[in-house]
Amino acid sequence: MLNPIKLEKKHFLSSLDTSFDEFLHILEIAKNFKNKDLNFKLQDKVLGLIFDKSSTRTRVSFHVAMSRLGGTTVDLNPTTSQIGRGEPIKDTARVLSRYCDVLAIRTFKQTDIEEYSKWSSKPVINALTDLEHPCQALADFMTIKEEFSDYKKVVLTFIGDGNNVANSLILYGALLGVEVRIACPKGYEPNDLVINRAKNIYKNKNLLKITHDPISAVQGANVLYTDVWSSMGEENQKENKDKNFLGFTIDPNLVRNADKNAIILHCLPAYRTKEITDEVIESKNSRIFEQAENRMHVQQALLACLLS
Ligand code: CP
Ligand code: NVA
């Protein structure tokens, strides 16, 4: 029987914290959980959740994943815990990791989640930072694998802001050998360090393309992906961004320029009419709700592997 294997790294803070083989293993475990072919338990283990930003999918999918594993979850709200009062991360991390077996944290700065991991005696999972959303990218590539068995034949086009979701997609894309095209307005390119790390992994293959032209970026693409133009924490940029992102909406016209069997992904929540139209979300090519479901299966697998 397939059994979860412990990951080399203690923490999961970035897409690149798993090797290629570990990534495939997590997806295999996730598939087995999804098909109810694996009965692996983390009896009595406790997951601590810290969310400095709002969440529906990540919060609930972690809760349910842990519950399916036979464990429990403690959900900490910064406004009712001492986190919001400014208790230092190094104190919170040392205390919580004496109670909990694993922590999943959604916060602003990547350096803050790194600080948690430095002081926590238990694994820390990145449940979204301004820089990355690696749990989301795991679910995204699981959804892509359900449609296209060979990653090396996939062209993934992300249209919109070069944000946390784009960064994690780029890094896994590089690890898996997927051609990744990012179409964003000038000034909204993904993080430079992320681009450089991805290019180093791709070596001399020119498989990461950053462009400002959505129509050319979707030609022949198998996967069209978008996310909100203004992420959490960028509320004050909304008006400006709404103007600068005109023309970067996934609408039926853009979809027509992609491969005819292209699937549509969005991490959700979506602003229908801004980054994507209602018609495209509800179209037969949309896999957005399968993608949301897969969050739970990959996180169940990730917990199993981190705590094995
Ligand atoms: N996609 C995602 O992370 O959704 P939530 O913000 O609802 O968790
Ligand atoms: N880029 C978005 C993703 C939300 C799941 C944000 O950070 O708000």
Give the pTM. Answer: 0.98
Kindly report, residue by residue over 66-75, the tens digit of the pLDDT.
999 999 999 9
**Which runs of consecutive H residues, i.e. helices, occur in 178-236?**
192-202, 214-218
> Region 27-40: what's the mean pLDDT?
97
For the Cβ of 127 lying below 6 angstroms from any atom of ligand 1, the answer is no
Q: Which residue among 58, 143, 289 is best mutated to probe the pocket of ligand 1, counting the most ligand atoms within 8 A of its Cβ? A: 58
Residue 225, SS3 per DSSP = strand
Give the pLDDT of residue 1: 74
pLDDT at 77 over 90: no
DSSP for residue 11: -
Give the Å distance between the CA of 233 and the centre of ligand 2: 9
Q: Which residue has the tokens 């981190």?
A: 306
Q: Which residue among 126, 165, 229, 230 is best mutated to probe the pocket of ligand 2, counting the most ligand atoms within 8 A of its Cβ? A: 165
Kindly report, residue by residue over 111-156, the tens digit of the pLDDT.
999 999 999 999 999 999 999 999 999 999 999 999 998 999 999 9
User: What are the tokens at 58?
Assistant: 């990540």
User: What residues are labeled active site?
Assistant: 106, 133, 136, 227, 267, 295
User: What are the tokens at 137?
Assistant: 């990218």
Q: Considering the chain, what percentage of its residues have pLDDT values greater than 70? A: 100
CA distance 160 to 227: 7
Peptide bond into 190 cis (omega under 30): no
Give the Å distance between the CA of 208 and the centre of ligand 1: 26
Kindly report, residue by residue over 162-192, the tens digit of the pLDDT.
999 999 999 999 999 999 999 999 999 999 9
Q: Which domains does the chain have, with CATH numbers?
A: 15-132+295-307 (3.40.50.1370), 136-291 (3.40.50.1370)
Of 68, 62, 57, the C-alpha closest to 47 is: 62
